[in-house]
Structures are given as C-alpha cells and as structure tokens.
C-alpha cells in the first residue's frame, strides 16, 4: 500500500528540489525537507513535461544533477492521471492554456493536497491550495 500524499510538487519545484534547492521558497523547502519518504508526489505528466523540456534543450541533466534527479524519483510517488483528473483539468479556471499545469493542479485537487508551486497564476486562481 502506498503512503498517503501530503504534497504534490509542480514540475519546477521537483526539478529545483533535485538540482538547486536555493531556488525553492522557504516554506516549500521546509515542506519538502521534512516530508517522509513517499508522501511527496508528482503527477505522471511531470515526467512528460521534463522529457519535453529536455527535448527542447530548455533544461539539461549532466553528472550530479542527473544522479540527484534519479534519487528524487525514488523518493516521490508518481501519481497517475485518472478519469476524474482528466475531466477536472480542462474545467479549472486558470488564466492560461498550459495543459501540464491544468493536469498537475487537478491532480492535487483530486487528492486533496497542497500543490508546491511558485506559479502565481495557479496560486492566484485559487483552484487548489498552494505552498511556496
């Protein structure tokens, strides 16, 4: 049985937790640093978004960063999309059409956990509790 989620990480929060913790907000860093193994989650679309960012050369992982990212993947729970998330995501009132953000926010909403994100559009929309 998987442990219950306490937080869901937005893609940038996951990447920064793995590669550059100094970019995390104080509350986000504390939450990530004190949450037990398996209680942090990422949406499965976060993996797709990372793949897209790598393909577009917007991010790269070399040496230590790639190793740390692999360790982080072992630490978090990858949360799959389900029908309710798929139906909720397009209906969220977000000011932009970023489908990754919609699915990630809908995943946090579905599981009733705060989303760790710096994205002001998501925080300001009030569609899900956020932490930064």
Spatial separation of the C-alpha atoms in residues 11 and 17, rounded to whole Å: 10
Other residues' Cβ atoms within 10 Å of the Cβ of residue 102: 21
Within 8 A by CB and 6+ apart from 85, the residues are: 103, 106, 107, 110
pLDDT tens-digit series, residues 28-82: 999 999 998 889 999 999 999 988 888 888 887 776 666 777 787 888 999 999 9
Over its C-alpha atoms, the chain yields an Rg (Å, rounded) of 14
Tell the CATH superfamily of the 7-98+108-124 domain. Answer: 5'-nuclease (3.40.50.1010)
Domain boundary assignment for the chain: 7-98+108-124
Q: Is the pTM of this model over 0.85?
A: yes
């Amino acid at each position: 049985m998987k442990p219950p989620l306490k937080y869901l990480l937005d893609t940038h929060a996951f990447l920064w937790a793995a590669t550059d913790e100094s970019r995390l907000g104080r509350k986000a860093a504390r939450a990530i640093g004190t949450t037990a193994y398996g209680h942090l989650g990422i949406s499965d679309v976060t993996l797709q978004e990372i793949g897209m960012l790598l393909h577009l050369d917007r991010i790269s992982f070399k040496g230590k960063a790639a190793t740390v990212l692999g360790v982080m993947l072992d630490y978090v729970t990858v949360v799959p999309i389900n029908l309710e998330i798929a139906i909720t995501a397009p209906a969220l009132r977000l000011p932009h059409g970023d489908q990754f953000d919609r699915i990630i926010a809908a995943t946090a909403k579905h599981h009733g956990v705060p989303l760790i994100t710096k994205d002001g559009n998501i925080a300001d929309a009030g569609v899900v509790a956020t932490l930064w």
